[in-house]
Amino acid sequence: MSLGRRLSMTGLLGGMAALAGCTSIGPRSLNRDQLDYTRAISESSKRQTLFNLVRMRYGDAPSFVAINQLVSSYSLQSSGSGGFGAFQSNFTRWGLLGGLQYTDTPTFTLQPVVGDQFVEAYLRPLAPDEVLPLIQSGIPANRLFWLALQSIGPLQNSQPLGRGRHTGSPEFYQALDLIRQVQDAGGLGVEVRKTKDRNRAFLIFDTRHLPHMAPLVQQIYRLLRVSQPSSSRLVEVFYGHDGGPAGRAAIPIMTRSLLGVMAAISAEIEVPQADVEARRTLQTLREPGDQRHVLSIQSGAEPPPRAYAAVQIEETWFWVADNDMSSKLTFSILQLLKAIAESTQDTSSAVLTIPTR
């Protein structure tokens, strides 16, 4: 056999040996798929939330399906063989066989949220010790309280089903704006204390390094009817209408359930006028004098080129615009509240497992 043929055969056999040895795909798959699945789960969660907001706007009951587990298995198998023979007639016969098999089998475990799980996650009022830590994470306090609270102190938030009548206290937004100003200045903190019976939540108004904020804090106390706190500067926040710990500064709040939060948002969705005229839904109305639009959900026959979240229901598209940072922030807060509420679910009930291939 000629030198050229021997070199060719050596290269082919070496290539097959390398192929059989390089079968590790785990690190490369993890680097690629972790972000891909994270993105896919995030987008599907946003679309499910938006879908249910629109359903509620049209009088339908929301329904949720939770992703409880995602298992993605990979396998890569390769094989190779080669041989050659040389004969006296200077005739050489050689052969090369090889095979490569790759399989990717992701499996999703989905669970409909029904019964006690639905009640606990979506109808249970959010606890103060669940809501307040979001402030410590940098969430704007005024926007969070607008979504999660039905009342704070004596001040009432508007009712989403009030149909534009005066259902809220005029000072409600004023108090929330003042709290936000103190937060922006760095004078607002949160503390949660775990006790044997329950968790206690506190707001901390610390203006020792911000003397110019002290008048704003005093105004907040007056609006919320908070007695002057002790030198600890802690104000306890508890669930209820009135009362509170004797001898201590406290703010009673009534929190909404997650379903109540979603009802407040869905009431502001801009719907097609044709649907209003056909009595498929109601006209969008707001409190008199209130021009705020905390979360703008638009609708049209076609979606915009880019959307933060978009969903098609029948022939109409509904979306949150990608260039509407205010609405995107509010939607993100809603998603965080949803994650908090769903953390109480019991996942021991029956689930539905669907192979994707």
Q: In this predicted model, what pLDDT tens digit does every residue of 92-107 receive, in sequence order?
A: 666 666 666 667 677 7
- Which helix (H) or strand (E) segment holds residue 27: the answer is helix 26-57
Alpha carbon distance 17, 81 (integer Å): 9
Q: What is the pLDDT of residues 217-255, one digit of tens each?
A: 999 999 999 876 655 688 999 998 766 555 568 899 999
Give domain status of residue 49, yes or no: no
Burial class (CB in 10 A: 0-12, 13-18, 19+), 333: buried
Q: Which residue has the tokens 């615009």?
A: 321
| Among 2-16, 77-91, 117-131, 153-167, the range of highest mean pLDDT | 117-131
Q: Over the stretch 46-84, which tens digit does the pLDDT of each residue have?
A: 999 999 999 999 999 999 988 877 776 666 566 666 655
Number of domains in the chain: 1
Where are the strands (E) in 262-306, listed by range?
A: 298-300
CA-to-CA dists, residue 128 to 69, 191, 239, 322, 337, angstroms: 29, 11, 7, 31, 12
Task: Provide the pLDDT for residue 255.
Answer: 95
Residue 156 maps to a domain: yes
Q: pTM of the prediction?
A: 0.77
**99 inside domain:** no
Asked if the structure places residue 12 within a domain, the reply is no
In a domain, 44, yes or no: no
Q: Which domain holds residue 337?
A: 115-355
Phi-psi region of 9 (alpha: psi -120 to 50; beta: other; left: phi over 0): alpha
Q: What is the pLDDT of residue 52?
A: 95
Residue 239 lies inside a defined structural domain of this protein: yes
pLDDT score of 33? 73
pLDDT at 41: 85
Q: pLDDT tens across 292-331, in order?
A: 557 889 989 898 889 999 999 988 999 999 999 999 999 9
Q: 303, 322 in Cβ contact below 8 A?
A: no
pLDDT level of residue 114 (50, 70, 90 thresholds): confident
- Strands, sheet with 65-86, edge to edge from the N-terminal-most edge strand: 65-86, 92-112, 352-355
Over the stretch 177-222, which tens digit does the pLDDT of each residue have?
Answer: 999 999 999 999 999 999 888 899 999 998 889 999 999 999 999 9
Q: Would residue 38 count as lying in a domain?
A: no
Whether residue 123 is contained in a domain is answered as: yes
pLDDT score recorded for residue 95: 62
Mean pLDDT of the chain: 80
Residue 248's φ and ψ, nearest 5 degrees, are -125, 150
